[in-house]
Structure 1
Amino acid sequence: MKKLFLIALTTFCSTYSFGQSKNTISFQAEIVNRNGDVIYIKDTKNKTIKEIKINDKGVFKDTFKIEKDDFYMFFDGTEYTQLFLKNGFDLKLKMDAKQFDESIIYDGKGAAENNYLAQDAIKNEQINPEKLVALSEDEFKKMTEEKKLTEETTLDKSGFDKTFIEIQKRNISMNIKGLKQYYNESKAAQKLNNTIAPTFNYVNHKGGTTKPEDLKGKYVYIDIWATWCGPCLKEIPFLQKIEEKYHRKNIEFVSISVDVKKDFEKWKKFVADKQLGGIQLFADNDWNSDFTKSLSINSIPRFILIDPSGKIVNADAEKPSSPKLQEVFDKLLN
């Protein structure tokens, strides 16, 4: 989970309300440390419905119309945050892009719902995966039931827009379902530790094929990913740094793409364009490959650590972005 802390932001230089109408949304912002020069508003199908240019001071002002009241995504080219939009809203945003959700503050009509979403994202980030998986089944069931009840009760008492409440309640149910999936997968992964890792024989980006037997005698850190997976792509810079730090050690870094077969060329180009290191492999049958099925992998990114004898050290290893991963490597490799 990313480190969470708030950062002070400069105030708006203007509170001018531009072109506000019941039939359009007014949206203005001041963004410190922006990641790009364009903001994209995307719908639930990831279709861009509006592009907004940011000036040199990190400020933008725009008006636009949406087809229906719904949740949308605010994308700055690097990170996303969720929005609830409704024609007639007059939103003013302050944000530091380096901290993103942790720094978001909305003002104006529609601010209450969107401040709730920003804070909800922070609360979800604060869930400790290790503590979650350490819970017994009864403890986990009690925790998720209490979480759902608390969040739904808060919404009922909020006075928020009715459509917002309806959609957010569905999201709460989906989030609980996601937690259950993570919990069950993690428990299943724990049972795989200290067992012989399943085998594979996948196409290597550099040519030929590679199988685990080719890497025996070394630790192997496997990244299961796909070119379409946002969380996977966020881990790439961290993985590259880890690879660089440990490249002289007794460990191989293997990335296995579960892209569908029709995207094979897209994968090849992505690996080349991004100059991805390590051993880059393409799974023979995406999600349905025997290797991923043997490890009960239903969500990505997923990382697996295997020892020199071919046994699984951790079937759900720390992500490259976690400082704990380096602690594990230092203990095993030094």
Structure 2
Amino acid sequence: MFKKITFISGLLVLLCSCSSEINNPTTILSGSITNPTEKLLLITGSDTFRDTIRVDDSGNFKDTLNLLPGSYLLSYGKLFWRSYLENGYNVQIAFDSKDFSKTINYTGAGGNENNYIFHKLSRQRQAMNIRQQAMKNINDSSLALLNTQKEALLTYLNEYPSLDPAFKELEQKNINYGYMSDLKRLEKSDTLNLVTGLRNELKKLNHTLNYNHGMDYLFSGSYKRIIEDYYRTNARQTAKTSNLDYDIAFLKEISRIKNDTIRNSLAYNHAKYGITYTKDLDTFYSLFLKTSTDTKHNEEISGSYKVLKKVAKGSPSPDFKAYENYNGGNTSLKDLAGAYLFIDVWATWCGPCRKEIPYLKELESRYHGRNIKFVSISIDKQKDREKWKQMIEDKQLGGVQLLADKDWESSFVKEYLIKGIPRFIILDPQGNIIDYNAPTPSSGELETIFNEFDL
């Protein structure tokens, strides 16, 4: 097995069950692929789980895994699909890579449940136009359309042969959570008048909803979204009434969750990126540790905290050396000493980065001739350097335009723990950090900050 394999999932679907074979502490996943094209089958789950399984030249694979019950995304080349896995399953998968959807078949313990999942999702895709109609035109018929779709799924579930009773019970709830999730989306999108039927139905469903079902959270993507939306809504309200930053308010809200599975998952998924953006690192970190009881999660976030403490205000900035300069030659951080630096870490493929360009150009024009340099560091891959040059030319970008040496793996990027772009950094003339997570040009906040400097 190969650890720490990263890949991007493209499907948002839900599946799950509960173990009926408690004597087997592991999951056995095996299978055969006709017309094999790849050497690895990728598997990823919620939060931190990543793994790969070797596929031999004949298309055969087998691995033994220790898994939480839940939905796992499998990827083979350009094929992506969902499977429900739990310890106690011994699942065999067979398919032809040239005709995947018509040939995939599961056998063994857990096979029947996974065949149901695959065919249910196919039925949902075929009926997508009904759901889209209900979500687009909000009226008295929307509730009926969504309810019809829900009942059709429940009927299909009840007609599917020989499903494990525990799986069936969870899937019934999953279908209802999907229905409820759609109603909540309708509630948000209707800015005028929520029709009476929808309002009454949501009131009834909200009254019966339990926010502490850990197995439902692992099983149902819809339940997970409902739970997360509930606590995020509460956090936004808390932030307003308590004068707290939202990221801190969210941790305070979820710290009260009784179920460890839900609380730990929400805390981790909030913190793995949120800790890199918070304005109050120590409070954020302290609250996270009080909220999370997951050792693996805590070790990762503690590592992030230690990295970010090194780039606190007043600390010397991490260095970069010999970055390619669009105007020719190479530039290092020391070459820019003596002026304030406003550093933009960006990439040509980043939409939010491109949206900041007009505001950045305006800001640069306003402070032209002052003791501040505007430095843009692209983390485009070296093979895309011509795209980088072309965008600089097309957008008529000014300032100091640099190309990082190893994109996301550049030491400058890693030492600042940059996990999302654009990221803006302000340094003083001595190269010390003023703000490692500065406001965006579009925020309108930078002029006030810059006017405090001796420019």
Identity over aligned pairs, percent: 38
Partner of 1:184: 275
Instruction: Rate the CA distance shift 1:260–1:118 in 2: closer, same or farther, 3 A.
Output: farther
Aligned-residue offset at 1:133: 7.8
Matched, 1:87 2:87: no
Contact 1:249 1:333 in 2 (8 A): no
Whole-angstrom distance in 2 between the partners of 1:218 and 1:284: 23
Contact 1:239 1:320 in 2 (8 A): yes
1:55-70 aligned at under 5 Å gives the runs 69=124
Secondary structure in 1 aligned to 2:450? helix
* Runs of at least 5 residues in structure 2 that lack an aligned partner in the other structure: 1-77, 79-120, 147-181, 191-228, 282-304
Partner of 1:270: 391
Partner of 2:103: none
Aligned-residue offset at 1:218: 0.4
Matched, 1:325 2:421: no
Partner of 1:163: none
Contact 1:133 1:183 in 2 (8 A): no
Per-residue CA deviations over 1:95-126 (Å, capped at 9, x if unaligned) read xxxxxxxxxxx557378454456597x96996
Secondary structure in 1 aligned to 2:369? coil
Q: Report how many residues are paired.
A: 221
Whole-angstrom distance in 2 between the partners of 1:190 and 1:325: 23
Matched, 1:143 2:234: no
Whole-angstrom distance in 2 between the partners of 1:93 and 1:225: 35
1:143-292 aligned at under 5 Å gives the runs 143-145=253-255, 177-185=268-276, 186=278, 187=281, 188=305, 189=308, 191-192=310-311, 193-200=313-320, 201-292=322-413
Partner of 2:213: none
* Runs of at least 5 residues in structure 1 that lack an aligned partner in the other structure: 1-44, 46-65, 71-84, 95-105, 150-168
Per-residue CA deviations over 1:69-114 (Å, capped at 9, x if unaligned) read 57xxxxxxxxxxxxxx9221426869xxxxxxxxxxx557378454
1:127-138 aligned at under 5 Å gives the runs 131-132=244-245, 135=248
Instruction: Rate the CA distance shift 1:267–1:87 in 2: closer, same or farther, 3 A.
Output: same
Instruction: Rate the CA distance shift 1:289–1:145 in 2: closer, same or farther, 3 A.
Output: same
Larger radius of gyration: 2
The structure with the largest helix share of the pair is 2
RMSD between aligned alpha carbons?
Answer: 3.9
Whole-angstrom distance in 1 between the partners of 2:419 and 2:350: 13
Aligned-residue offset at 1:198: 1.7
Whole-angstrom distance in 2 between the partners of 1:92 and 1:263: 40
Partner of 1:24: none
Contact 1:190 1:316 in 2 (8 A): no
Aligned-residue offset at 1:184: 2.0
Aligned-residue offset at 1:223: 0.6
Contact 1:190 1:315 in 2 (8 A): no
Instruction: Compare relative contact order (CA 8 Å, sep 6+) and give the higher one, 1 or 2.
Output: 1
Per-residue CA deviations over 1:168-195 (Å, capped at 9, x if unaligned) read x9xx999865531233224344651211
Whole-angstrom distance in 2 between the partners of 1:234 and 1:87: 33
Aligned-residue offset at 1:317: 1.1
Secondary structure in 2 aligned to 1:88? helix
Instruction: Rate the CA distance shift 1:291–1:116 in 2: closer, same or farther, 3 A.
Output: farther
Q: Provide TM-score, normalisation by structure 2.
A: 0.41
Per-residue CA deviations over 1:172-225 (Å, capped at 9, x if unaligned) read 999865531233224344651211112212001111111121211100000111
Partner of 1:307: 428
Aligned-residue offset at 1:287: 0.6
Whole-angstrom distance in 2 between the partners of 1:258 and 1:124: 36
